[in-house]
Chains A and B, each alone.
Chain A
Amino acid sequence: MFNAIELSPLLLTLKVAGLAAFAALVAGTALAYALSRKGFPGRDWLDAFLTLPVVLPPTVLGYYIIVVVGRNGFIGRWLERYLGVSLMFTWQGAVVAASIVSLPMVIKSARAAFEGVPQDFENAARTLGQSETSVFFRVTLPLAWRGILAGVMLAFARAMGEFGATLMVAGDLPGRTQTLSLAIYDAVQAGSDTLSMQLVIFTSAICMVMLVFSGKLLRTEY
């Protein structure tokens, strides 16, 4: 059913979404923990800022990413000068776009999971002589990991479907930066109904599976 050319957007999408979900897991868990446990000035503003990718038009997001990591962006210029690389029109650029778009999924989920861990469980661990690191890894994380993982699956599904920001940052280069959602767009534009149908059904199926498993994870265990 799939020949080599049709397979490349699929593999690329899995790679991009997988790496983006992983980046969102690491950054999102840390940010969610800080948001749920530490009262610091500007917390509400940070929360709002991190939620922006949910509501902003993808083009606006893509624009911001270009401003930051583009050839003239302050990170982009640094990357070019010291590492000799540019993220523009590369699949790594697509990972950056997908990470930022999917980060709020992990943050929302993980924050709810952390806030669902009763503080007295953590206090009990402290009275039993445990350091904060130990409390986190022995109490907080084991009680919150399902919520975090559910968020990561949503993040993966969201990263798979990313279109607008990816198009602006990484372009739509077949075989190099063309992900599933971009391939679907091209297939529809070119009038290849069979191909677009295949890709659409495939994408829907993966997202469906992700949502079902994410829902299963959120059912309370204790």
Chain B
Amino acid sequence: MTARVGIKKTMTSGSRRFNLDVSFSSRSCYTILSGPSGSGKSLTLRCIAGIETPDSGRIEIGRRVLFDSEGRVNVPVRERRIGYLFQDYALFPHLSVADNVGFGLKKLFKPLSMADRGKVSELLEIFGLGEMAESLPRDLSGGQKQRVALARSLVNNPSVLLLDEPFSALDHSLREKMRAELKAVQARFNIPVILISHEPADIRAFEGDIVEYSGKGAVHKNSGSGIKLFSAEGYSPEASCRKIQS
């Protein structure tokens, strides 16, 4: 697995300016973006997914260039093949668990094909959601919501999984369990994971490259330095994620 990210983005709101200037590359199964809140970790993830567009730089996942300001490459979000777990999961409230999971397979105004329906029920089984296939997201517990969101994000065989503080919405007893589940999912789908966390427990649990964000994030206009970056390439070379090389 190689993820190479080197981007700059300036956000302004009123008189406040925020400079994101980050670059890292990682080859391990897990890349952890860590640092204080407001330092641009979520913004980095959103840039990788294509939800936000960097001002300049380059994003490369596997052998695919997703963004390159010099080469004028900016792959649209829908073609990036990225699994994204939003912090509050962003499950579609009007759709059942099964419809949420199958969302990425369904075409507008067309029912799911038999093969796709099989794929959805397989994913529901893997995540232990079979019994609540027809439930609405509002009736699920926090852990169940996260499983639905994970299953949904994996349905299109993404080439990388981006997790925005995946455990922050869960209580402590559940976190340990969901960490183990995430590890199992990673191993099963053999997919590289980039996740945001400031929990030391997460950093211990997911051995991988750590990208440390520093600074207050919101830098005032003339104060000079942006976000410092630390590349931690090859932190755990024994782990390899083949998936991304395709």
Q: Does A126 contact B (CB under 8 A)?
A: yes
Interchain nearest-CB distance for B115 vs A (Å)? 16
Interchain nearest-CB distance for A19 vs B (Å)? 27
| 22 A-B interface contacts by CB (under 8 A) | A120-B88, A123-B49, A123-B84, A124-B86, A124-B152, A125-B92, A126-B50, A127-B49, A127-B78, A128-B104, A128-B152, A128-B156, A129-B79, A130-B78, A130-B103, A130-B104, A130-B108, A131-B108, A138-B103, A143-B94, A222-B93, A222-B136
Residues in B neighbouring A133, C-beta threshold 8 A? 108
B interface size (C-beta, 8 A): 30
Known pairs A128-B155, A130-B108, A222-B138; list 13 more (Cβ under 8 Å).
A120-B88, A120-B90, A121-B92, A124-B90, A126-B51, A126-B76, A127-B82, A128-B103, A130-B103, A130-B104, A137-B108, A138-B106, A143-B94
CB-based contact A129/B104 at 8 Å: yes
Given the known A-B contacts A128-B156, A139-B92, are A120 and B86 also in contact in the complex, defined by CB atoms under 8 Å? Answer: yes
Given the known A-B contacts A127-B77, A127-B82, are A222 and B90 also in contact in the complex, defined by CB atoms under 8 Å? Answer: no
Residues in B neighbouring A143, C-beta threshold 8 A? 93-94
A residues neighboring B (CB under 8 Å): 118, 120-121, 123-131, 133-134, 137-139, 142-143, 221-222
Interface SS of chain B: loop
B residues neighboring A (CB under 8 Å): 49-51, 76-84, 86, 88, 90, 92-94, 103-104, 106-109, 136, 138, 152-153, 155-156
Residues in A neighbouring B107, C-beta threshold 8 A? 134
CB-based contact B77/A123 at 8 Å: yes
Interchain nearest-CB distance for A201 vs B (Å)? 39
CB-based contact A127/B83 at 8 Å: yes
Given the known A-B contacts A130-B78, A131-B78, are A123 and B90 also in contact in the complex, defined by CB atoms under 8 Å? Answer: yes
